[in-house]
Amino acid sequence: MSALPMTLPRQHWLPKLVLAPSFVLSFLFIYGLIAWNGYLSLSASRLLPNYEFVGLEQYVTLFESERWWVALTNLAIFGTLFIGGGMVLGLLLAILLDQKIRAEGVLRTIYLYPMALSFIVTGTAWKWILNPGLGLEKVVQDWGFDGFTFDWLVNPDRAIYTVVIAGIWQSAGFVMALFLAGLRGIDDSIIKAAQVDGASLPRIYWRIIIPSLRPVFFSTLMVLAHLAIKSFDLVVALTNGGPGFATDVPATFMYAMAFTRGQIGLGAASATIMLATVAAIVVPYLYSELRTRR
């Protein structure tokens, strides 16, 4: 029985010791680097990092830059349409697939398949499809509709919408899978009860099923929102920010400034703003998650 006082302290420090390396590493390489980036954004860094403190100068330059505003506007357009469109289409696919049909497994795989492709592949494929001289426009014109034009990809005012199209194409299947899982989790007896009461199927979906999918909506929003903010590869592959810089988003802006234009400080400032945007979405989510657990 004298062993008991000895095991107690060990049980006290052992879990902490085991956790310590991963804690130190993640602290150093995640939060340490975030802090370093934050400091760089306050420095006069150009080609190489240097530590001359210049206060908020880089942020002032950033928000005076027209290209940054184009990037932010594009993020707003892309974010709204990508998240909204992806959810609506995903939900629609999920509801249609939920009708207890044959070969559902096959269809589900087909719908989900775009998710298996990387954004680079999606972007490249859509680049060909939307190219006026090769893809959709040419095909339709060859069918005899000479007046048909679909040149959004090369039109500076419309190009960002082509990124939306490719993004939704990519993510709708994944959203569908999330919603389908949600739909399958709904208690059948509620639906049966509604049917007994004489409610029509659309009404059941509208009044009972969709409202009960709220948590799924929420997690889908989280996933899509951070995908939208990080959308770098899709833009690079599809338009490379062009024509001009019409489809620049904050991620491509950051890369251009930090790595090709020798403006590390400015790039760091834009990265900080992006991080703040992500945090503005994720922190409330984490907060609500942690609160409900309690």
Residue 154: DSSP 8-state:
G
Q: Does the footprint of other proteins cover residue 230 (CB under 8 A)?
A: no
CB closer to other proteins, 57 vs 112: 57
Q: Does the footprint of other proteins cover residue 292 (CB under 8 A)?
A: no
Q: Does the footprint of other proteins cover residue 54 (CB under 8 A)?
A: no
CB closer to other proteins, 64 vs 197: 64
CB closer to other proteins, 151 vs 233: 151
Report the site for other proteins in 63-102 (rule: CB under 8 A): 66-67
41, 59 in Cβ contact below 8 A?
A: yes
Site stretch for other proteins (CB under 8 A), options 3-11, 124-132, 139-147, 213-221: 124-132
Q: Does the footprint of other proteins cover residue 120 (CB under 8 A)?
A: no
Q: Token pair of 45, please?
A: 């860094």
Q: How far is the CB of 64 from other proteins (least distance, A)?
A: 9
Residue with tokens 């330059």: 61
Binding residues for other proteins, total number by CB under 8 A? 29
**From 3, 6, 8, 48, residue interacting with other proteins (rule: CB under 8 A):** 48
112-139 CB burial, b ≥16 within 10 A, e <16:
bebbeeebeebbebbbebbebeebbbee
**From 239, 252, 272, 277, residue interacting with other proteins (rule: CB under 8 A):** 239
Site stretch for other proteins (CB under 8 A), options 17-25, 35-43, 163-171, 252-260: 252-260
**From 1, 6, 47, 196, residue interacting with other proteins (rule: CB under 8 A):** 47
| Amino acid letter for position 2 | S
Q: Does the footprint of other proteins cover residue 233 (CB under 8 A)?
A: no
Site stretch for other proteins (CB under 8 A), options 117-125, 129-137, 172-180, 186-194: 129-137
Task: Give the whole-angstrom CA distance, residue 170 versus residue 112.
Answer: 9
Q: Does the footprint of other proteins cover residue 124 (CB under 8 A)?
A: no
Report the Cα 234 to chain-centroid distance in Å. 11
Task: Give the whole-angstrom CA distance, residue 17 versus residue 11.
Answer: 10
Distances (CA, A) of 100 to 4, 72, 109, 184, 190: 59, 43, 16, 11, 17
Report helix, strand or coil for 43.
strand
Q: Token pair of 260, please?
A: 């090709």
Report helix, strand or coil for 240.
coil
Q: Does the footprint of other proteins cover residue 43 (CB under 8 A)?
A: no
Name, in order, each residue with C-beta under 8 angstroms of 80's C-beta and a sequence gap of 6 or more. none
Q: Does the footprint of other proteins cover residue 133 (CB under 8 A)?
A: yes
Which H or E element spans position 89?
helix 66-97
CB closer to other proteins, 80 vs 118: 118
Q: Which residues bind other proteins (CB under 8 A)?
A: 46-50, 66-67, 127, 131-134, 151, 153-154, 156, 239-240, 242-246, 256, 259-263
